[in-house]
Amino acid sequence: MSWKTLDDMDLNGKRVLVRVDINVPVENGIVTDTTRIERIAPTVLDILAQGGKPILIAHFGRPKGKVMLDMSLRVTVPALEAALGRKVRLIETLEGAENLTHEAQASDVLLLENIRFHPGEEANDPDFAARLAQLGDIYCNDAFSAAHRAHASTEGLARHLPSCAGRLMQAELQALEAALGTPKRPVVAVVGGAKVSTKLDLLGNLVEKVDTLVIGGGMANTFLAALGLDVGRSLCEHDMTATAREIMLRAGAANCSILLPADVVVAREFRAGASHEVVGAHACPPDAMILDAGPLAVTRIIAALDGAKTLIWNGPLGAFEIDPFDAATNAAAGHAARLSREGRLVSVAGGGDTVAALNRAGAAGDFTYISTAGGAFLEWMEGKDLPGVAALKR
């Protein structure tokens, strides 16, 4: 590893600035999903166990450098205290953090108010980063999901303080290194979703790195159209067919096999329980929509997984939100989960709909690693340097 972890730092008696991502969903003043909060607990509790003082830095929403009370982190305090089993004190201003009261000094965990209330945060202003750095002795980044942003609290702080990765960041980076950095081969990537245009960099990077690329979801329709097949009324980017052909050529040159659905599930309307049929990928009726991969396609995906050592998954294979068009995603994800559970496959998944699809399939718990990061996970898969990670390597 070219970056340090908490194990490499002397934390005893030190103030530790911990960048976390607790940008969680809230309804009626209550956090409705505490997953992100629960995942930072190992880092915070580790710092406390080693005699350090955790000072949490986080954002909430997009206040764009202005104080907006409806985006205060105060709403997260009860959930933080429940997850940590410790008292958490919100520090409302930087001046308050610079001149802590006796009560604040005695608190186990401090939480700075929404860091994006300050315009210097997203601007990565050097003076603002230097001011933040005065609040601590050590910087710990535990927010991989914000690592693709070069902000003061994700990149600038690492220029001023001894720095390390928190437990969540460490786990994320180790999982990603195992999946694409130095993976066990063969490597299979499953990429689904609606549009080729949003995943051009991703597909272009993967064909150079993996042995088999499974393409599903709406973007598979664009690839089928690029092969000259009629996809009826399906979601399809017809203006991207030339790009799809170029990706297939690049894959061939890199000895990467692209697996497109040989058969598909079609329907005339997009609703749960709609009348549907399975047809060959070459036989979509002109008045129908392709809404899922068919059973033969699933059989071929499962065979690819059986021959793989590493799997990277991003995006569903069909319209997974409604029955029966979740069948391909559920079957393939379930098989990947079983192989992972048996120790035969290293499986890493992440990004947007992916986590929801794997949870719906009941498969997420058995994947080797599920990333809660959205943009950062995708940019890493695209082969881009993430500022927050690069800062830790310096």
**96 catalytic residue (yes or no):** no
**375 catalytic residue (yes or no):** yes
Is 149 labelled as part of a ligand binding site? Answer: yes
3-class DSSP state for residue 142? coil
Which region, left, alpha or beta, applies to residue 383 given φ > 0 means left and ψ of -120 to 50 means alpha? left
Is 14 labelled as part of a ligand binding site? Answer: no
Sequence-ordered alpha helix ranges (H) in 258-352:
295-306, 327-341
Half-sphere exposure of 110 (CA within 13 A, CB side): 27
- Cα separation, 205 vs 222, whole angstroms: 19
**352 catalytic residue (yes or no):** yes
Is 81 labelled as part of a ligand binding site? Answer: no
The catalytic residue among 195, 233, 250, 268 is 195
Is 306 labelled as part of a ligand binding site? Answer: no
- Cα separation, 65 vs 165, whole angstroms: 26
How many whole angstroms from its chain centre is CA 280? 34
Is 28 labelled as part of a ligand binding site? Answer: no
Cβ–Cβ < 8 Å for 157, 385 = no
Neighbour count for residue 238 (Cβ, 10 Å): 10
Is 60 labelled as part of a ligand binding site? Answer: yes
The catalytic residue among 96, 204, 334, 352 is 352
Instruction: Name residue 383's amino acid.
Output: G
Is 276 labelled as part of a ligand binding site? Answer: no
Half-sphere exposure of 384 (CA within 13 A, CB side): 17
Is 271 labelled as part of a ligand binding site? Answer: no
**193 catalytic residue (yes or no):** no
Is 209 labelled as part of a ligand binding site? Answer: no
Which helix or strand (DSSP H or E) is residue 279 part of? strand 276-280
Is 116 labelled as part of a ligand binding site? Answer: yes
- The structure tokens listed for 175 are 């999982």
Neighbour count for residue 182 (Cβ, 10 Å): 7
Is 89 labelled as part of a ligand binding site? Answer: no
Cβ–Cβ < 8 Å for 214, 393 = no
Query: For strand 263-267 and strand 109-112, is the pairing parallel, antiparallel, or unpaired?
Result: unpaired
Which helix or strand (DSSP H or E) is residue 209 part of? helix 200-209
The catalytic residue among 15, 36, 39, 53 is 36
**Residues recognised as catalytic:** 36, 195, 352, 375
Bind-site residues: 21-23, 36, 59-62, 116, 149, 199, 321, 351-354
Bind-site residues for (2R)-3-phosphoglycerate: 36, 116, 149
Bind-site residues for substrate: 21-23, 36, 59-62, 116, 149
Bind-site residues for ATP: 199, 321, 351-354
